[in-house]
């Protein structure tokens, strides 16, 4: 286990957009479960927020992962918070530091309407 492992306090399901034939000569995109990953969900730092604002990104959460986690741009990460509320995060980008001890995914929390 990498050094970041002890901080990863949540399990998130990874869903990836996959294009499939619709049976009528066309295609449709559906989200397919890829597996689960251990993660830590944080608010982004002030520097992350400033960079996101400058680039027009909607980055509002940072998700830390194992360095080899199978997560990439366009995926959805799904889980529950400490209060048991369902959460869905759309992955905007995934980066690693020069020494890959973790992966960091810039995400947007997708909130549903109603209760």
User: Hey, where are the domains in the chain?
Assistant: 3-110
| Dihedral sign computed on CA atoms, order 45, 110, 6, 70 | negative
Q: Backbone phi, then psi, for 26, in 5-degree steps?
A: -115, -165
Q: Model confidence over 47-102: pLDDT tens digits?
A: 777 777 777 777 789 999 999 999 999 999 999 988 888 999 999 999 999 988 99
Question: 108: exposed, middle or buried (C-beta count within 10 Å: 0-12, 13-18, 19+)?
Answer: middle
- Checking if the pLDDT of 9 tops 90, the result is yes
Residue among 30, 99, 87 nearest 60 (CA): 87
Q: What is the CATH number of domain 3-110?
A: 2.40.10.270
Single pTM value for the model: 0.83
Any bridge partners for residue 103, and if so which? 65
Helix (H) or strand (E) holding 84: none
């Amino acid at each position: 286990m990498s050094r970041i492992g002890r901080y990863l306090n949540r399990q998130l399901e990874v869903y990836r957009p996959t294009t499939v034939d619709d049976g009528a000569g066309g295609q449709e995109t559906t989200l397919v479960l890829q597996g689960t990953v251990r993660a830590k969900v944080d608010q982004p730092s002030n520097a992350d927020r400033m960079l996101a604002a400058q680039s027009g990104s909607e980055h509002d959460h940072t998700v830390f992962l194992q360095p080899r986690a199978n997560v990439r741009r366009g995926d959805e990460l799904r889980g529950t918070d400490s209060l048991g509320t369902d959460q869905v995060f759309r992955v905007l980008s995934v980066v690693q530091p020069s020494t890959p001890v973790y992966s960091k995914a810039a995400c947007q929390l997708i909130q549903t309407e109603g209760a």
